[in-house]
Amino acid sequence: MIGIVDYGMGNLYSVTKGLERIGHTPFLSEDPDELAKADRLLLPGVGSFRDGMAELKKRGLDEFLKKWAAEGRPLLGICLGMQLLFEASEENGPTEGLGLLPGEAVRFSGKTADGRRYKVPHMGWNMLEFHQPDHPILKDVPSGHVYFVHSYVVKVKEADVLIASSDYEELVPAVVGRGSVWGTQFHPEKSSVAGMRMLLNFANAKGVI
């Protein structure tokens, strides 16, 4: 059973419909006691990092998610939800994250080393490059494009966290993870076959990852 963490900032409809398309019926809740009944949790997110952490803390979900991850229970963050898994973000001033993965979210500079400007936010379809092709989340995932919408990019501190990347004038960690904690910067539920296969891999992962 998949629980979707509802902290007031998620793309709940599209994530729910995506899981339903792969044969799963998730439930939504902001109550840690209810979410604890799930086999795995999905943390969606749209909006600012600071607001997201404030909403998680207001509901007691920050400590709940840390405990959940410490027990080795499967957790998938999507978009802002992925960034919240990390230690911090500079968005709207330095803000501490959940600290489940090592790294920090910073804003795209909008300017290359040779002075060319590029558009921020990063919005649209980009190709994935697999760094850990044998990782469970990439099982049977075809090479292809996935859909991004974000202005901040995570700088991972340890290479083993990076599962797949994309390029948008710099390296973009697109799929990250360690142990039972996984994340996608893009929206898998909007990313055709590749994204839907990743959702299925997460949904079907057996027991403690």
CA distance 206 to 134: 16
CA distance 122 to 115: 18
Give the active site residue among 20, 71, 79, 87.
Answer: 79
Residue-wise pLDDT tens digits, 145-165: 999 999 999 999 999 999 999
Q: Does the active-site annotation cover 79?
A: yes
Q: Quick one: average pLDDT of 99-125?
A: 93
* Residue 209 maps to a domain: no
> Would you say residue 23 has pLDDT above 50?
yes
CA distance 139 to 14: 23
Bridge partners of 171? Answer: 167
> Would you say residue 39 has pLDDT above 80?
yes
**What phi and psi values does residue 180 have, to the nearest 5 degrees?**
-90, 0
Q: Do 155 and 115 form a contact (C-beta atoms < 8 A)?
A: no
Q: How many domains does the chain have?
A: 1
pLDDT of residue 15: 93
Host domain of residue 169: 2-108+117-204
CATH assignment at residue 153: 3.40.50.880
* Residue 133 maps to a domain: yes
Give the active site residue among 55, 91, 104, 189.
Answer: 189
Bridge partners of 89? Answer: 95, 105
* Residue 53 maps to a domain: yes
Q: Does the active-site annotation cover 189?
A: yes
